[in-house]
Each structure stands twice: as C-alpha cells, then as structure tokens.
Structure 1
C-alpha cells in the first residue's frame, strides 16, 4: 500500500515538473518568416536566396545569440553573411536575414538554434527553426545559358571593334539586380572575362569582353529571369563600328584632321608650282614649294610614332589597372603608338596585335 502511494506521489511530482518545463519552453521562440515561399517555390542553381527569421522573447528573457546546428554542405549551399545582426522589430521581438547562394540540387538550409536567459529564474532556454530542404532546379542543360539568374538584367551599352586580322572584340556593360553575375560565361571556346565589376547590397554591374572570330556576324545568349520564371535572350550584332574614343581601333586608324591637312597642303603645293611657271617670282615660289613639300613629307612619315616596349612589360586589352593581360613580351619590341589615354599608350606590334601599355614602359 505504501509502495503504491509512493509511486503515485512520484508520478504527480514528475507531472508537475513536466508542466513547469512546458511553461518554461515558451521563454524563447524562433520561426522562419518566409518558410512558405522557400518550401513551395523552386529555386535555381546559382540563385541568391534570403531566409528571414523572427524571434520572440517572453518572461523578460534576454536574447543570448543564434547559431546554425550544422554547417551547410559547401558543394550545395554557400553562406554569404556569416554574422547577421538581429534587429529589434518590436517589444521583445527581433529579426534577421541569412543570405545563401544555391550551388547544387541537394541544397538544404540548416536548422537555426537560438538561446535566451531568464535571470531571476536562472533559466537558460533554447528554440530551433527546422532545416529546410529546397526544391532546386539546374538550368545548365540549356544550350545558350550563361549561368545567371536575376530579378532584373540588362546590357546598358556595347561596342564592337577590330581586334586583329582575324578577330573582333566585343565589350559590353551589364547591370543586374538579385543576380549571380560572377558566374556569367558565354558558351563557346573563345577568350572572355570581366574587366571590372561592382557589387552593392542587391545591385551588381560589370564590364565584360569577348574576343570573337570575324566570321561571327552575331552573338546571342540567355539568362533566366526570376520575375518571369523563363529564359530571356539578348542579341548582339558583331559588325565593327567606328567611334572617337574606343576600346580598340582598326589596325590602321585614320586621323581625319591629318588627312584633310595633307589634301590642303597638296592643293597649295600645286598652286605654288603653277605660280612658279606663270609668274616672275620663281625664287619665292621655289622656297615656298620646298617648305610645303617638307611639311607634307613630315605628316606622311609621322602618321605613327614609334617606340621600344621594354621586355616583360604588360600589354593589356583595356587601359585599366585590372584589365586582362594580352601579352607579356620576353624581349623588347618595336611598336607603333597609335593612341593614348591617361597613363596608357595604345600600341600595335609588328604582327598587328593591338593593346594598351603604360607610358613609362615605352622608350
């Protein structure tokens, strides 16, 4: 009898303890605000996603911190912010956003564990938001896909110029929002890459170049629009155009002012020669004719300046510090100087390759 009463008393004490723990479990609570979107909508390899958390505190608990229960698989998911700030969004309420980049089709957002402390009860409590498996779609099978998913994506300008005897160079500026622009690559076996890029909180931009065979008359590629949930195509004409200031120029650029001045000098020289035969001022006409001939020859022979490019100097595609290298000659080269910009000369080598070098590297 006594043993039965003791068991009953022990059961009642355990029940009271469990009820007490159940009440204490409500001191801190965390949830994923955008859980419905993350579980019901597909995401894409390369896409940047946000996981928004909301934290509630009770019984004057103090928030201690948060941590992922497991690190994400680095082949499937990449963390973009490692120490996100929890911002007060009301009385005893906090919110934050974890940013990730999806890398594989088996990506899972790790569970998040938060903790809080009630000082007068000397009680530490924890709560967890569950792990979230993602519905990932791989778009790489599309034959003309450049690897970019974006909310907004646009080309703000582009230029096509002659690069050498067999290639043209295409340079264009990209602007995008919510995009993985760092993954941009046009399908094809040709030299390409970024000349510069800028990343903001959500907006990114960059200057991209491609060196393409002259046999290509057009170029097109596709990115994936997150707004429209479909591929969008961009198209370029690859017919070179002339411009006053350009990335590259024709192999033998024409100086219109010099051309017109030479025509004027030739006309003036012809008039002086006529005067030599038809007037009595033969000596004067002869002196003027010699001077005009000298100026004309100077203009013709000095169309290009020449110089010697020192060995191991860098020849770049664009006149910028971080531009892609075109060539590093092991020996000094005789070059023609066909233009300049800021601290750079535009030069042409004997094999008719055009590039930019620092002025200090040319003697």
Structure 2
C-alpha cells in the first residue's frame, strides 16, 4: 500500500512539472513581445505570441487577410488592325492587356514617337473584365512610309510598377492619294457642309466660316492646299472618333469669287469636289452666328415660346389651384435665365492679342489697352474663344486670361 502511494505521488509530480514548464515556454513575456514588435514584417506565429487568446482566431488562411497576388507576366495583343489604309485616313486597333490575375491596378499606356504616325485619342479608357483590360486606339498616317509602332504598358499598383510589357504590332500598308490643287488632306467616308458664310475681314481680304461634319475622319487635319489662301484653321471640334464636326475658317483676297476644295472618299475611292460661292454679307466677324454664340437668329422666337408656355401654366395654376403647373412654369423661366448666361467670364491682361483663328500665325485684329472684362464661350487646345467689351469675338492664348466664374 505504501509503495502504491509513493508511485502515485511520483507520477503526479512529474505530470505537473511538465505542465508548468510548457506554460512558461508558451506564455508571452515582455521581452519577446518587444522583439516581435521591432520586426518589419509579422508572421501569423508572431501575432499569436503577442495577441490575447480571446482576440479571435488567427488560424485562418492567408488569402482571407491579404489579396492573393502572384508573380505573372503582362501579356499584350492587338486585334482588328486593317490590312491597308490611305494616307490621311484614320484607323483603329483594339489593344488587349492580360495581367493573368484579377486584382486592382492602373495601366499607363505610352507610344514611342513616330514622325509619320499620329496617335489621336491619347486619353484612353480601359474596360476591365477580370484580369483582361481592353481599349481602342485611333491613329492617322501622314505618309506612305508609316514606320514602326511600339506601345509600352506599365501596370501600376499603389504607385509602384508591378508589371510592364511592350508590343510592336504590324501596321497596315499605307496607299498614296493623288496630290492635287485644293485637296483638303481629308480621307473620309463622308463630308458634309452644314452651312457657310463670308464676311469682310479687312480692306484687302474676306473670311469664310464653314461648318463641317465628317464620318470616319480626323477633321483637325482639314487644310486646303492652295497658295492663294492667306490664313486657315479648324476650331470648336465636337464629337469623338470616328465622327466629328467643326468650324473651318479661311481668309483669302477679296477678289476671290469662289472657294474650291476636295476630299478623298474612302468608300468610293474617288475625290469629291466642293465649290462655294463667295457672297459677301454686310456685317463684321463678330456678328456671324457660327462665331458669336450670343447671336442666335431664333433667340426672340425661343424667348417668346418659353414665356408664352410659362404664362399658360401660371394661368392654369390660378384656375385649378394645383401647384404642378406653377412648378413647371418656374422651371421654364429658370431655364431661360440660365441659357442666357451659359458662359464664363474673366479678365484679360493689358496688351492681350485677340486673333481671328486659334492658331499661332493667325491675324491679330484687336489688342486690349487695359485689363478688360470678357465673356468666354469655348476653348481649343491653348486658346479661349472670347468676346471683348466692344462685341468683337476672337481667340486668345489661355495664359492671357483669368476665369472668374462659370
């Protein structure tokens, strides 16, 4: 009996001492905790040592804590590249970037400069589907020797380069277009003249303003090859590729009786000719509807119609005592007031040069003597379209103006 008691006490003492030793080993002490917190990166085991046992279960898969990011290649490809185009004809391709995993990042696209190839839509919008990014790029060739195209894509994550790749797709063959007098350097599926008007520019020249619409073309390239033209340019371009509209301004001597030009139709593969008679109208540049946004020939009719409808709605409100007609009347009047002031205002500096066209070599027709209040209607690259205090409308460099309100 005594032997059994001694054996029991020995077994109990051995088991208890092992438990004490295990607890001393596993309990987090301040020195271990300090060493762990000084580490740059903490592992799950480190977190177990410093976190209390009732702070949640840390025995979870790492993918639930961190986004799964794998080291992969950025794969680039292109589709829908045409086999051939004409000189000055725009064309597109679809660029596909496959990052091979579905994570969030930003793509930065750039093109190595090519003197004979113009990248038209440099502000690209990517469409993301999983790990696949797609976008459409538009180009224009200004030579039959188009050279090479190299596209570079950087995949940025948290501002750091995560992946990068380049691609040099095979470009289409560029076919020449016959050089001829009055060619407008436009290849399009269609070009339509909506309206045009001719006015006196100065004592020796006139200016014609043409409102154009094109299909499948870069309307900014519109330039008539004719030495008799003194000044020309394109402004107020609207729309996105491939269909656009714009105003074309051309200055020529006042003895010219017609303006002739042609464009190359990509569908018929033939030139289409235009001849516009010069019919001088007795007004100046600022009274042209196309140039002066405040000069709307239907302005009086629009005002009458809006106020007439508002009056009817107010009359219905008085008879029915229903507030709905009154609300619509107030909205109509508010719209009329807003539409009359749909422009910005600003101040131009003294000695600001106001040009007839938004181009560097355009004729200067007005120079401000002092700081002057102006109305701002439009912008084109580095220029603003403004109206000065005397009612003249023209273009100034953006650096010459301070916008006050919209």
TM-score of the pair, normalised by structure 2: 0.45
- Which structure ranks higher in relative contact order (CA pairs < 8 Å, sequence separation ≥ 6)? 1
Q: TM-score, normalised by structure 1?
A: 0.50
